[in-house]
Structure 1
Amino acid sequence: MEELKSAVEEHMDLMADLVQKISTELRSGMRPAYENFIGFFHAIDWKEPWLMGLLAFHILLLLTAILSRKNTNFQMCLFFLALAGVYLAERLNSFLGENWKGFSSQNYFDPNGLFLSVLWSGPLLVIAIIILINTLFSLCYTIVRWKKAELKHRARVSRNKQD
């Protein structure tokens, strides 16, 4: 019984330490994450033409996804192209890391791929999620239309049987 009691007390001490560490982290707030983001943002030369082109590409792709929201087949093509871009990000990072001198003033392409993940894969994933949500809304709308048509058809059939 003593062993059980000591094990429970030890577990309670560990839990108290964990709660204290979590509360310390919460009290420090989002300050470290904010400072890391600001450091990342200022480390990039946003006036480089290829970065402007990349941002323009993402804006154009987002506008295309929004404007083509009624065309489900085209949206699915965009969805799969965006996901293919994310899938190929590692290879793209390696290629760009080897050839950065030809288009950039500094090497942004670290082996972990953080830069490319933030500026390439992140926006592509956001666009893919927007397309996915739009597709789900379209699917729900189609199901509602189909169900209404089915109910109207059943009402007509039952009326014809009564006549």
Structure 2
Amino acid sequence: LFPDGRLDQDLQQVDLRGRNSWRLLMDEVPSVELLETQLVNAIAPFIINARLKPLMLRTPERDKHIVNVSAMEGQFYRNFKTTRHPHTNMAKAALNMMTRTSAADYQNDGIHMNSVDTGWVTDEDPADIAALKVQQERFHPPLDIVDGAARIVDPIIHGA
């Protein structure tokens, strides 16, 4: 299901499961996957951001930046939400709330904290479904990883 050395177009490990995490309903998400998703998307950024502040305060520059990489899944204002992947939705929502809560405090010390949505840069469907969409519909995500990277560095370049 995870062939050794086989990477996708973005150099990520190929996942050959017929039904991946992206397709799961709440009662289908394994506890370990829920915890891993929270650790990667909310807990680790919290720890990193908390530990960065004292280090950043030691530097003489006034404007410093922290950019947390979020996704549309973490947004509450959207009118449509699929019933799928609630664990990724809640992890990104937690990241956004951490940024929302802490950004003003960090701003007081000249640290600009933002959460940035990279945009739709990958097709998270299982590999066989994604390949079928390319073949039948010529589907590709509207943005690529360069677009996503540009969105991440934009607050730094434009001083937001």
Alignment TM-score, normalising by the size of structure 1? 0.25
Q: Per chain length, whose mean CA-contact separation is higher, i.e. which structure has more relative contact order (CA < 8 Å, sep 6+)?
A: 2
Task: Point out the structure with the larger helix share.
Answer: 1
Alignment TM-score, normalising by the size of structure 2? 0.26
Task: Point out the structure with the larger strand share.
Answer: 2
Larger radius of gyration: 1
